[in-house]
Structure 1
Amino acid sequence: MTSRPPARSTAGPAAAGIGTRTLVHALVREDGTVDAGELYAVAEALGMTDQQVRLCVKRLVGEGRFTQEGRGRKARLHATADATGSIAPDVEYVRHAFRQDRGLAPWDGTWHLFAFAIPESSRQARDALRDTLLHLGAAPLQGGLYVSANAIGEIVEAHARGLGVLSSLTRLTSRDLRVGEEDDPARLAALLWPLPAVAERHEALAALAAARLALLSGPDRPTGIERLTFAIELAAAFTDAMEPDPLLPPELLPQPWPGTRARALAAQCWDALAAGEAQDPARLRLFRLYGGVGSAAAQPGGN
């Protein structure tokens, strides 16, 4: 077998966004443990230092999120609760993305608008409602007025009710949106959303997934540590690409849209990684969280 460079030499920008805390959470196995030997080896592959890992473990144990058995690379961490919430994908959000990619969620031409005027005395609730709208992919039109191409009204209303500001929220729909003199839907989308920046993140995901697929299907079988590193890189890059994506309908996006290719490649890469872990009863919880998110969600009729 010929030698290959360590995984960190090909990690690219995706690895730079992976924090030590995220890494520890990502390496939790189905039995709730983290093998410190794997943790330090994957951290090294991602360009992290032993000192960074030690400090992170110390903080997590101090917070009561993990207990530690043993020391150094021979230690074993035990999660005291499910530590995967910060790395779990939003399954419904991802499923909708794959349905759009397959042409199963066509746009009906309706714009969904949300307006609110919440006083300074309720600033925290106002900021939380704004953040909810932005997280759901809505774009600001002007102060207190947001627009989405997706039917997110019920979700926004539920958040407003929980924040105690439902009476300050106005919802409406329109098939006739104009900003200045622009009323063409696709040009409005390009005006309102930072599509080049979103596309750039998807291109980074596609490049990473394609590179990892090439290694997984190449003549040199990746080591166990390399496969773990690939999985964590892929999960981090997928999150990095999806979080700022408003999931605009294909009718509003430039074609071909990089997100479609990136998600397809990521699903293929994840399937290839998961295949090697299928028989391992102590596999990472990460494989259960992401397993089938792409391939199953993309099946016709998945909703």
Structure 2
Amino acid sequence: MLVHALVRTDGTVDAGELYTVAGLLGMTDQQVRLCVGRLVAEGRFRQDGRGRRAVLRAVSDATSGALAPDAEHIRHAYRQDDGLAPWDGTWHLFAFAVPEARRTVRDALRETLLHLGAAPVQGGLYVAANPIADLVEARARSLDALDSVTFLTSTDLRLGDLTEPARLAARIWPLDAVAARHERLAAFAEACAESIDGSALSGAERLTLAVELAAGFSDAMTPDPLLPPELLPPHWPGRRARRLTRACWAALSALPPEPGAPASPPRLFQLYDDAFAVPEETGPAGPA
């Protein structure tokens, strides 16, 4: 993950920079060597030179790996934060029954639904608060499993005696765990902003903060179903965490380049700059 995060726009990774940032993150040189060796053996990178003087060259698109932002997911979150994606009161339900012989297809459907913010209600039945049917249908078609999926919507979902939407959401989704991730992200983003304001950072220190901030943001956002504000508890920490993260990232991006720094910046900065540049648009939209 760290190697991918340091890939520059020209497709290279400076090994000296990699070892320095890894050290600041608490990794040993041996861990870095093993990681690089694995990536080279898998054919993802080509290594020119040895040790800290080496240059890694991406063989394929190695754009930031697990830290690469899902731009549409992020933009939808900020639309919700800005009140541009109100809930229309509709629940979106999906049921599927795939035979054991096609277990990989069944698992792929389940992972797609979870990735899109749906949650299981009972065996084979999932519910989402956002309009994701088109995305689910596209995935089911690609898996040749559309005939196995049932799509329906409802405005009167009930679980036992529960009918109030916010209470249903609290029952269906693990909101306490998601909130805790956002709280950790907010705390780190605040500390990151103080580090930027209070000291002159080296290039390696800036990269380290960027990698940590991107990792924290991904850790908080990936499991977040992006429920509409109407379904969330009061004072939901996600909005504050996203605001602080965007401000901290803008401050990192605005720092002048260090003398002698490579002309080609890490792709990670470009990707997050684009993702945080939320377009001003109106109308309903769901996460991608």
TM range (shorter): over 0.9
**Aligned residues with identical type, % of pairs:** 65
Q: TM-score, normalised by structure 1?
A: 0.89
Instruction: Tell me, yes or no, if structure 1 residue 165 matches structure 2 residue 124.
Output: no
User: 1:67 and 2:49 equivalent?
Assistant: no
The aligned residue for residue 255 of structure 1 is: 234
Separation in 2, partners of 1:131, 1:68: 35
Is 1:137–2:117 an aligned residue pair?
A: yes
Q: Is 2:198 the counterpart of 1:204?
A: no
The answer as to 2:21 corresponding to 1:42 is yes
Q: Secondary structure at the match of 1:113?
A: strand
**CA–CA distance in structure 2, aligned partners of residues 85 and 155 of structure 1:** 24
Determine if contact 1:277/1:283 at 8 Å carries over to the other structure. no
- Gap change, CA 1:69 and 1:147, over 3 Å in 2: same
- Give 1:288's aligned residue: 270
What amino acid is aligned across from residue 264 of structure 2 in structure 1? A
Of residues 169, 173, 176, the one that matches 1:189 is 169
Alignment coverage as a number of residue pairs:
280
Cα shift readout 1:121-141 (whole Å, capped 9, x = no counterpart): 222111111111111111111
Equivalent position SS for 1:172: strand
1:12-36 per-residue CA deviation (whole Å, 9 max, x = no partner) reads: xxxxxxxxxx001111111111111
Alignment partner for residue 297 of structure 1, among 267, 272, 278? 278
1:30 and 1:168 map into 2 onto residues whose CA distance is: 43
User: What is the rounded CA distance, in whole Å, between the counterparts of 2:15 and 2:145 in structure 1?
Assistant: 47
Mapped pair 1:230 → 2:209: yes
Q: How does 1:89-168 map to 2 (within 5 A)?
A: 89-168=69-148
Deviation at 1:142, TM superposition (A): 0.7
Cα deviation for residue 298 of structure 1 reads 6.1
2:90·2:129 contact (CA, 8 Å) conserved in 1? yes
Q: Is 1:271–2:250 an aligned residue pair?
A: yes
Matches within 5 A, 1:12-27: 22-27=1-6
**AA at the equivalent of 1:105:** A
Who is 1:15 aligned against? none
Residues 102 and 298 of structure 1 are in contact (CA less than 8 Å); yes or no, is this contact kept in structure 2?
no
Structure 1 counterpart SS, 2:275: coil
Q: Distance in 1 between matches of 2:58 and 2:82?
A: 38
CA RMSD of aligned residues (A): 1.6
Task: State the TM-score, normalized to the length of structure 2.
Answer: 0.93
- Displacement of 1:209: 0.7
Rounded Cα–Cα distance in structure 2 between residues aligned with 1:212 and 1:264:
13
What secondary structure does 2:153 align onto? strand
2:19 pairs with 1:31: no
Q: Structure 2: 5+ residue runs without aligned partners?
A: none
User: Aligned residue for 1:6?
Assistant: none
* CA drift at 1:299: 4.1
1:78 aligns with 2:57: yes
**What SS is found at the alignment partner of 1:293?**
helix
